Amino acid sequence: MADTVAQAIRASAAALEPVSITARADAEHLMAHALGVSRSDMLLRHMHAPVPDQFDALVARRMAHEPMAYILGEEYFFGFMFKVTPAVLIPRPDSEVLVEAALAARPDARRVLDCGTGSGALLLAVLSNLGQASGIGIDSSQAALEVARDNAVSLGLADRARMLLADWNEPDWSRTLGGPFDLILANPPYVETGAVLEPSVRAHEPASALFAGPDGLDDYRVLIPQVPRLLAPGGCALFEIGALQGDAVVGLAERSDLSATLHRDLAERPRVVEMSPRS
């Protein structure tokens, strides 16, 4: 039995080794969370304290491959802290490429639409950097919208970001959104239904945000043909894609009279397709 915080961190870091490549850091974050203090405060001041009761339960969740972000209830994205729950995909660093590309493409955007907003990460990161813009995040999950609304409030964007229930597979889904838009963002589901995923992703993240048919392209097939009528003149759409989907998604864009360019992620893989009407 570990008597002190320091001993318990050491023991659980060893236990988490097979589950996590960041076992020691995970153990420290979980302990700081259980103590209700920051990690640096814990390391400076609490290492000899008794072990809080909740710690073992938190470690057990991580041992079952639950992502740290769900256990802690938050994740950083584009320099902002977002609340996350299992109702939303955890924002990933790769998606920051989409935010950067959107800000570069239309720094003057006034109206932004985010399709499948989840935690609101893409929309809220863009609006935080475009003081003149307002936007709508849509999602087919009411539970996700509640998370997105909480994030809009905590980032001080509630007056510029509306989070609305809509499903692009339904006819007329966009009629009440009040388009057209200068920027359309989307990180739709794009994983092949049969793909092998990390246990932390497949068992814990929402399947509805991940899977899009046998080739992972189902949602692009529905959304991309609708982009031209949703875009304002001079507008552009930026969709996240899977690393091997660049050619297929560029092809879908071209068949909808859009010109398309690819942006690469931190690992140099194609990650974002930027689309605008062919001139």
Q: Please give the residue ranges that form the binding site for ligand GLN (CB under 6 A).
A: 89, 92, 187, 189-191, 201, 210
Determine the residue type at 264: R
Least distance CB 29 / ligand GLN (angstroms): 21
To ligand GLN, the closest distance from the beta carbon of 191 in angstroms equals 5
Of 159 and 268, the one with the shorter C-beta distance to ligand GLN is: 268
Which is closer to ligand GLN, CB of 12 or CB of 151?
151
Nearer to ligand GLN, 103 or 201 (CB): 201
Q: 43 or 201: whose CB is closer to ligand GLN?
A: 201
Q: Closest by alpha carbon to 139, among 171, 111, 161, 117?
A: 117
Nearer to ligand GLN, 51 or 249 (CB): 249
Smallest distance from ligand GLN to CB 244, Å: 11
Output the smallest distance, CB 34 to ligand GLN, in A: 28
Considering Cα of 215, then 217, then 222, then 225, what sign does the dihedral take? negative
- Comparing every residue's Cβ against ligand GLN, the nearest one is 190
Nearest distance from residue 2's CB to ligand GLN, in Å?
A: 34
